[in-house]
Amino acid sequence: MNKIRKNIHREISKLTKHFKNTKIRDLHDSNDSKNKVIELDFLTFDYSKQRIDKKTLDYLVKIPDLINLKESLSLLFSGKVKNLSEDREVTHTFYRNQTSDGNFPLIFAERERIKSFLDQKQSGYSFKNLICLSIGGSRLGPELLNEFLSLDNPINIYFCSSYDLDELDDALHQCLQSETIVFVSSKSFETSEIKKNLEHVKSWFSEKPEINFEDHLYGISANVPAMTNYGIKDANQYPLLDSLGGRFSIWSSISLPAFVNASYESYIEFLQGAYLADEYTNNTPWESNISVLMALLSIWNRNALDIANHGIFPYSFKLRSLTKYLAQLSMESNGKSVNFDSNVSPFLTTPLVWGGYGIENQHSTFQWLMQGKTETSCDFIGINNMESGNLDSYEMLLSQVLAMTMGEENKTAPYKTVRGNNPCSIFQLNNLDLKSLGFLLALYEHKTYIEALILGIDPFDQWGVQLGKKISLDAKKDNQFLKPFFSSSVLPKS
């Protein structure tokens, strides 16, 4: 299989040669650009501002068949893909299935528990504040959803993970113990940041001995014994499949805290959008399959055009944390170069993913994008709906795309010249609703998986992250561990 990938890499290198001085403006002026727009019920994907021609695209869309993508997608949706290095099944797509097929019954049992909790809203919750102790995928997904859903929220929701506890203290200062519940969201229930925050919350509750902390404590984890050992009652536990990766866990009870101000029906709508993206990705020809095209464009931009960073810019305030979520999805999944069989990928793998809320970036990082020496590929995400009040914002998005891709030469004042030529794609959402969000996020998930298959790496492990955890634990156990590597002036003060 690695021989096939080397051949693909070689062909891409051949195609690269005639692209060295190619301008997006010239490509766009050809009749070919009108064919690079895909319209679906939830969104439109426009990749006409990518630096790619028909000859190259015709080759790229053959790659999925070369790596047997159809079979790999079938395995993914049937739960037969494995995270080889950790010997675990990959099960995140089962969390958005609409009906149970008998596989993984825990998922639908968990869904009933989510419904039971969220249905309390009808008669009124017994709490006013919810503190969610979570980190990584257990935080980024729910926090994105909470901001997306946030309007007139009767329940205050605080996400906390900082190791210095300042974030948690800021939240606790706004709460009373009698009005507060705590969710500990951690797949392993062994993360040091979460343990430290949990101990701090316990200490805070102990200031009110008349309150039984266990009545206010909930857990979401694959480690049921650990939840029990920490005093979380069985009725307050939400068990996860051990095979569910943290960065793919947004579809599970990990997102329960984000929906306390919404409803169970809202949660199901979110899952429905993702399920429809599963169906779409599995059944759509490669040349018009958005997930596939996103993966192919990413590999082309990184390997043919040598673009090492990718900006994602949502133009809706409700999606302001989308980039952080997608950055983890992409870089923790595909930020590696060797697979379980010790084969080194012949490709340059995932670029740095960065960005943020587009309007704010216009007045900061876009200057670098427009006139710096580093090229960047970009995704712009906006809402094109007269009823949403986002039309001005969407028009602004299109203007920035034009500036970044087409540029403008000023011969009399060269310092005003904007080179352009940054490859950009546009996602135009038709509505700002949960189904559309679920559909969009699942497309990015599938893009990440497909990209990993082409690169020849496992997107479901994260051994680089694990080394960082191991070293921090070693340093915690032995206060001399760090001493040989750092000057005494920068070591922790005793």
Which tens digit of pLDDT belongs to each residue from 447-471? 999 999 999 999 999 999 888 888 8
Show the tokens assigned to 45: 């994907």
Catalytic residue from among 3, 363, 373, 493: 363
Per residue in 341-387, pLDDT (tens digit) is 888 999 999 999 999 999 999 999 999 999 999 999 999 999 988 77
Task: Output Rg (C-alpha) for the chain, integer angstroms.
Answer: 24
Map residue 199 onto helix, strand or coil.
helix
Catalytic residue from among 110, 143, 193, 332: 332
Per residue in 229-283, pLDDT (tens digit) is 999 999 999 999 999 999 999 999 999 999 999 999 999 999 999 999 999 999 9
Find the DSSP H helices in 87-223: 105-118, 137-149, 166-172, 192-205
469 catalytic, yes or no?
Answer: yes
Residue that the structure tokens 């902390």 belong to:
213
Strands (E), 67-163: 82-83, 88-89, 129-134, 156-160
Q: Encode 89-125: b = buried (16+ Cβ within 10 Å), e = exposed.
A: bbbbbbbbbeeeeeebeebeebbebbeebbeebeeeb
Residue that the structure tokens 């994105």 belong to:
144
Show the tokens assigned to 382: 């906006």
Q: Which amino acid is at 459?
A: P
Is the pLDDT at 444 greater than 80? The verdict is yes
User: How high is the pLDDT of residue 31?
Assistant: 61
Whether residue 312 contacts residue 353, with contact meaning beta carbons closer than 8 Å, is answered with yes
CA distances from 310 to 290, 395, 480 (A): 17, 22, 40
Is the pLDDT at 318 greater than 90? The verdict is yes
Q: How far apart are CA 200 and CA 197, in angstroms?
A: 5
Q: How far apart are CA 240 and CA 304, in angstroms?
A: 41
Burial of 87 (0-12, 13-18, 19+ CB in 10 A): exposed
Q: Encode 246-283: b = buried (16+ Cβ within 10 Å), e = exposed.
A: bbbbbbbbbbbbbbbbbbbebbbbbbbbbbbbbebbbe
CA distances from 159 to 81, 247, 258 (A): 32, 16, 10
332 catalytic, yes or no?
Answer: yes
Q: How far apart are CA 249 and CA 260, in angstroms?
A: 17
Task: Quickly count: other Cβ atoms within 10 Å of residue 390's Cβ.
Answer: 21
Give 152's pLDDT tier (boundaries 50, 70, 90).
confident
Q: Which amino acid is at 238?
A: Y
Q: How far apart are CA 207 and CA 458, in angstroms?
A: 47
User: How high is the pLDDT of residue 143?
Assistant: 97
Task: Quickly count: other Cβ atoms within 10 Å of residue 418's Cβ.
Answer: 17
55 catalytic, yes or no?
Answer: no
User: Which residue did the predictor score with more confidence, 12 or 475?
Assistant: 12
Q: How far apart are CA 438 and CA 194, in angstroms?
A: 27
Q: How far apart are CA 5 and CA 446, in angstroms?
A: 19
Q: How far out from the chain centre does Cα 19 lie?
A: 31
Map residue 321 onto helix, strand or coil.
coil
Give 1's pLDDT tier (boundaries 50, 70, 90).
low
Is the pLDDT at 340 greater than 90? The verdict is no
Residues in the chain: 494
User: What's the chain's average pLDDT?
Assistant: 94
Q: Give percent above pLDDT 70 in the chain.
A: 99
Show the tokens assigned to 101: 């097929």
Strands (E), 164-303: 180-185, 217-221, 237-239
List the single range of 108-112, 139-143, 468-472 with lowest mean pLDDT. Answer: 468-472
- 338 DSSP β-pair partners: 344
Show the tokens assigned to 366: 């876009």
- 129 DSSP β-pair partners: 156, 180
Show the tokens assigned to 471: 């070293």
Give 142's pLDDT tier (boundaries 50, 70, 90).
very high
